[in-house]
Amino acid sequence: MNPFNSLGLRHDGRTLWVLDQTQLPDAEVWLDGSDPDAMIALIQRLAVRGAPLIGVAAAASLATFAHRGASASEYAAACAALRAARPTAVNLMWAMDRMKGAADPVREAQAIFEEDVRLCEGMAQHGAALIQDGEGLLTHCNTGGLATAGIGTALGVIRRAHEQGKRIHVYADETRPLLQGGRLTTWELEKMGIPATLITDSMAALLLRDGKVQRVLVGSDRVAANGDFANKVGTYGLAVQARFHGVPFHPVAPISTVDLACPTGAAIPIEERDPAEVRGYGQLRWAPLAIPAWNPSFDITPVDLLTSLVLDRGVFSAAELQSGVLAKVCG
């Protein structure tokens, strides 16, 4: 295989390495994800995460497996198992459906990687044009280079606006319960030198009330045909708060995140994770062991709450989405 390299994924020609995102920001540890079973475990414990990246990483793992001599039946079984590793981000299914029918799995995985880089550039170009000099920007979860093969979705847009010289200030939601914002987005923002402030999720409404935020930019794990979309739990609440305060709200996603087979958000499967993630974090626990806890990993934001969706192919208003533009743009 040809070597490739991104912030969270590396292939040296023989072995696929993934940056263990559970250890950030304290340690940069690279783990071997060449074996599909190992990759499934890495995806499920969020060592590798973010909708586009799990598709790209699963494809690279499967290609490495094929390159090392997997039989057709071993390949098919691994492809099906990877496809089912997490249920909400449709990018994983999109990538595995491409890999399933691929004549040359190595070339296909490489193409999926390179395409994701290009899709990020498209989103950055269209999204950065919305951002005005001096804006405060609020974001949720991690949607940057760690979540994609390229510069990211929402965070890629923010990065491009910063590179264009716009004076922006980012507010990063810590993103309960697994702290992708607090651990990962802050790590990326620091590396890029973008002025930023970390907040807990429950502080966002105050920031919006006080006029500190002029725009909310988030990623997505699946966009339904009508523009409803799934993203990290907490996104729906942000959309409601943004609407109340009259602040523009934009999901940012590549076409690999659009699922025309879901007519509305009601058809998007939502991953429920271990309740222990709500009772504590790592070795720390703050709740009684037996207290019931609810842990949906994603929520659905209805299209009515969007100002516009930033796709790699352009920016589409809520009204355009509701009149079926996605079927024309992505069909």
What is the nearest approach in angstroms of ligand MRU to the Cβ of residue 246? Answer: 24
75 vs 140 by CB, closer to ligand MRU: 140
Chain positions 265 to 284 lying near ligand MRU, rule: CB under 6 A, are none
Angle at 127 between CA 126 and CA 129, to 5 degrees: 75
70 vs 239 by CB, closer to ligand MRU: 239
Beta bridge partners of 197: 171
What is the nearest approach in angstroms of ligand MRU to the Cβ of residue 268? Answer: 12
Q: In the set 61, 64, 110, 143, which binds ligand MRU (CB under 6 A)? A: 143
Q: In the set 59, 141, 242, 326, which binds ligand MRU (CB under 6 A)? A: 141
Q: In the set 297, 301, 307, 308, which binds ligand MRU (CB under 6 A)? A: 297
Token readout for 211 is 């006029």
CA distance 63 to 106: 5
The whole-angstrom distance between residue 323's C-alpha and the CA centroid of its chain comes to 26
Chain positions 193 to 222 lying near ligand MRU, rule: CB under 6 A, are 219-221
Q: Rule CB under 6 A: is residue 160 a binding residue for ligand MRU?
A: no
Q: Rule CB under 6 A: is residue 234 a binding residue for ligand MRU?
A: no
64 vs 301 by CB, closer to ligand MRU: 301
Confirm whether 221 is a catalytic residue: yes
66 vs 138 by CB, closer to ligand MRU: 138
Q: Rule CB under 6 A: is residue 6 a binding residue for ligand MRU?
A: no
Contact predicate 222/262, CB 8 Å? yes
108 vs 188 by CB, closer to ligand MRU: 188
Three-state SS annotation for the chain: CCCEECCCEEECCCCEEEECHHHCCCCCCEEECCCHHHHHHHHHCCCCCCHHHHHHHHHHHHHHHHHCCCCHHHHHHHHHHHHCCCCCCHHHHHHHHHHHCCCCHHHHHHHHHHHHHHHHHHHHHHHHCCCCCCCEEEECCCCCCCCCCCCCCHHHHHHHHHHCCCCCEEEEECCCCCCHHHHHHHHHHHHHCCCEEEECHHHHHHHHHCCCCCEEEECCCEEECCCCEEEECCHHHHHHHHHHCCCCEEEEECHHHEECCCCCHHHCCCCECCCHHHHEECCEECCCCCCCCCCECEEEECHHHCCEEEECCEEEEHHHHHCCHHHHHHC
The count of residues interacting with ligand MRU (CB under 6 A) is 18
39 vs 147 by CB, closer to ligand MRU: 147
Q: Rule CB under 6 A: is residue 148 a binding residue for ligand MRU?
A: yes
Q: In the set 160, 232, 250, 279, which binds ligand MRU (CB under 6 A)? A: 232
User: Going residue by residue from 175 to 194, which x/- string records binding to ligand MRU, judged by CB under 6 A?
Assistant: -----x--------------
180 vs 241 by CB, closer to ligand MRU: 180
Catalytic residue among 221, 259, 299, 312: 221
What is the nearest approach in angstroms of ligand MRU to the Cβ of residue 143? Answer: 4
Chain positions 25 to 64 lying near ligand MRU, rule: CB under 6 A, are 46, 49-52
Residues with catalytic annotation?
Answer: 221
Instruction: Kindly list the residues in this chain that would bind ligand MRU in the complex (CB under 6 A).
Output: 46, 49-52, 89, 141, 143, 147-148, 153, 180, 219-221, 231-232, 297
